[in-house]
Chains A and B, each alone.
Chain A
Amino acid sequence: MTIVTGKAEARRRLQPGWSGALRKIWEHRADYAYVLPAIVVMLIVIAYPIYYTVELSFFKTPPGLQLRDKSFIGFDNYTAILTSQVFWKVTWNTLIWTLGSTLISFVLGFATALALHCDFIGRGVLRAILIIPWVISAVAASYIWKWIYHSDFGIIGAVLVGLGLTDRPPNFIDNVSTVLPSLIVVNIWREFPFAMIMMMAGLQTVPEQLLRAAEVDGANAWQRFWHVTFPHLRNVSTVTILLLAVANFNSFIIPWIMTGGGPSNASHIWITHIYELAFGRQRWGVASAYSVLLFLILMTLGYFYVRALSGNERKEGSA
């Protein structure tokens, strides 16, 4: 069966040039009907906006969305961005935010998955509780933590004062040096369950026999983890880390609701900054140029993402 299709495939591949490709498309015309709805929706909501953003980034735009009055200014928006002080500040924040959130979420999620990987009473309940932060709305999470960090009535401040560590409750999110770490804690609270679920799913695919064999050969728990479990999870880990990195790079709600980027840009990351440029200060051209830069960065990340995924595909094909 497979051999026959293989031959047919090979014969078809021998068809040279365009006529072959067109014939192939024609032969499969019915297949496209299945994908068409998805593609059409994607085109309207994705391809058009991307095109429009790129176009707008080369124009000077008046405030308000009276875009007929825009004028072409070439790369001026881009040079304006790259020479501004705020850009480097925001980029640095984004870097800390993305790396910090991603790595700590992943490590915590992975460790939790490992700790949950054995049977004990209440395991299901515990797992369910740990997932809840990921499910609830980021808006709700932001308000909960804003209340926890509150400078007058916040519970953390109260505990610190109660323990005698400080005289008066510290102000976590109105302080330039503590605001970003404080927000990262909130973000990790919401993100680590995702890593946990992914790694728990991954752990189920590690073959028991291999672990037992390693044990018989005298490997201790750490060696078993490092030499058997971890290599098996390399693909899942890559995909999880990339998904987390992209999600964190793109996060908006937590900084926007908790601080709005303040104080003095200390918690502005790219996305909140772009949003403020566009909808706050109505500088659509500059915001679009920012978006294009963002787009380029994400395409680079996306390249690795696709490579990690197609690594999976290839392995599946050979198995």
Chain B
Amino acid sequence: MSAIAETASRGRTRRRRRVDGWQWAGRCFLLFMLLYTALPMIWMLITSIKSGFAATQFPPQWWPDEPTLASYQKLLDPQNSVGQDFLRFFWNSLFVSTVTTILSVIVAVPAAYAFSRFSFPGRNFLFFAVLLRNMFPAVIFLVPLFILMRAIGLVNTHGSLVLTYLTFGLPLAIWLLKGFYDNIPVQLEQAARIDGATRFQAFILIVMPLSTPGIIATAIYSFIGAWNEYIYAYTFLSKNDQLTLPVGIQRFFSENTTDFPGLMAASFMMSVPVVVLFLVLQRYFVRALTEGAVKH
């Protein structure tokens, strides 16, 4: 008895010691990755609180002599023209991303459910056709879509963006959600049907609540995709008051090429909503990937 305990404890210490080398390598590697990831973002923040003069010094001021929030004040002040533009771009991005997110959840949920539960002819073909959409770059679709949007009068409207954003968010959304539905036992629905619920009621009352994490993950993905999208917005929109943030910022700073603090402040504020959203909801996202995409 004591011999077993002894070998067990010896085994444990030996294991701990043996792993140590690898663990140290892992720690060093993580530190390197942390620096690689974080330093550019820290430099962005430091630059954004410099004055235009302080930013263009050589050697650079590692920490600004006189930190200032002037860039942020300028961007967020509705009184001056820069602030007006920035806030309008911000609002446009928010509007387009929100509408896209809501619509893509409405479209993806029934589709994913059908792909998971029913075995209609052509199911596999349609499923892979949907997935293959992920493979094609925006550029292939750009010219014909531009012509199509012009034909149906959507050029220079946010509708053109919502419609196109829907399609590139959908494949992953459907894929993730399908994984979720695959893992919800059919018996739960069958029990509800036996108790007199229609298929639709069973879906709304049983399946939907259980797949909430998947739906949240889908929504995050759509929102971030729409918020960050650049190429369609760059091509479809030309009126200044309709631009979304990425295009608006690019337009603005191709005219004011030397305002680095302003550019960094704008980049920072453009990143805040998606980063906050992601950090708050990331466990759903990681879980959805685990259950939906990987666990098979």
Interface residues of A (CB under 8 A from B): 21, 24-25, 28, 31-35, 37-39, 41-42, 44-46, 48-50, 52-53, 56, 65, 67, 108, 111-112, 114-116, 118, 126, 128-133, 135-140, 143-145, 147-148, 152-153, 155, 158, 161-162, 169, 189, 192-193, 197-198, 200-202, 204-205, 215, 220-221, 235-236, 239, 243, 246, 249-250, 252-253, 257, 271, 274-275, 278-279, 284, 287-288, 291, 294-295, 298-299, 301-302, 305-306, 309-310, 312-313, 315-316, 319
Contact = CB atoms under 8 A, between A and B. Distances in A.
Interface string B127-168: 011111111111111111111101000000000000110110
A201 B140 contact: no
Contacts of B108: 38
Interface stretch (B24-32, B79-87, B206-214): B24-32
Contacts of B36: 189
B107 A41 contact: yes
A287 B143 contact: yes
Would you list the 7 A-B pairs with minimal beta carbon distance, nearest first? A34-B114, A250-B137, A115-B26, A28-B120, A49-B144, A52-B144, A140-B267
B9 interface: no
Contact of A158 (B58, B119, B144): B58
B136 A295 contact: yes
A136 B275 contact: yes
Given A108-B33, A161-B59, A200-B286, A28 B107 contact: no
A198 B293 contact: yes
Interface of B: 15, 18-19, 22-23, 26-27, 29-30, 33-34, 36-38, 40-41, 43-44, 47, 55-60, 106-108, 110-111, 113-115, 118-122, 124, 126, 128-148, 150, 163-164, 166-167, 170, 174, 182, 224, 227-228, 230-231, 235, 245-246, 249-250, 253, 260, 263-264, 267-268, 270-271, 274-275, 278-279, 282, 285-286, 289-290, 293-296
B11 to A, nearest CB: 9
A130 B264 contact: no
A129 B141 contact: no
Contacts of B38: 129
Given A32-B120, A274-B139, A291-B139, A197 B286 contact: yes
B278 A37 contact: no
Nearest to A157: B58
A313 B142 CA distance: 33
B295 A67 contact: no
A31 B118 contact: yes
B141 A45 contact: yes
A205 B133 contact: no
B140 A42 contact: no
5 contacts: A28-B119, A34-B113, A48-B144, A133-B41, A148-B43
A221 B19 contact: yes
Given A112-B33, A294-B140, A153 B40 contact: no
Contacts of A279: 142, 235
Contact of A41 (B113, B170, B267, B274): B170
A146 B223 CA distance: 26
B228 A139 contact: yes
B60 A42 contact: no
A34 B118 contact: yes
B274 A112 contact: no
B271 A137 contact: yes
B15 A215 contact: yes
Query: Among the interface residues A139, A246, A249, which one has the most CB atoms of the partner chain B within 10 A?
Result: A139
B126 A114 contact: no
A314 B254 CA distance: 51
B229 to A, nearest CB: 9
Nearest to A5: B119
A118 B15 CA distance: 14
Nearest to B165: A45
Contacts of B56: 152-153
Given A38-B174, A49-B148, A246-B135, A198 B224 contact: no
Given A189-B40, A236-B294, 18 more contacts: A34-B113, A45-B163, A46-B133, A49-B145, A50-B140, A108-B33, A111-B29, A133-B40, A135-B278, A136-B270, A140-B249, A145-B40, A152-B58, A155-B60, A169-B58, A204-B290, A252-B139, A252-B231
